[in-house]
Amino acid sequence: MPEAPETEELRTQIEAIDEEIIDLIATRMEIADELAKAKRRTSQGYWDEGKEREVIQRYHELCEEVSLSEDEARQIAEVILHISKERQKHFFE
């Protein structure tokens, strides 16, 4: 059974947004890699728990502005931070 034109258009819009999200996350990770290199050069640890809490709080505030829940904000932040943490760890091994 073919999808309704409206459904197809909505799916196309979602696909375009997903592409933008991935591009932005890739850019964020490239910057996080540079941050890890800078931390290593200055003998800092690769992960700062206090900064992690700040980032999660920032995500909460940003999500609140666009009517996403606190739980959704936490989930988004946790996924992005987990990836970032794993990538940064590699620069210190």
User: Could you report the per-residue pLDDT of 3-54, keeping only the tens digit for each?
Assistant: 688 999 999 999 999 999 999 999 999 999 999 999 999 999 888 999 999 9
Alpha carbons within 13 A on the beta-carbon side of 22: 6
pTM of the model as a whole: 0.83
> Between helices 70-90 and 49-65, what is the axis angle to 10°?
140
Q: How far is the C-alpha of 75 from the C-alpha of 56, rounded, in Å? A: 9
Residue 1 pLDDT: 62
Q: How far is the C-alpha of 19 from the C-alpha of 14, rounded, in Å? A: 9
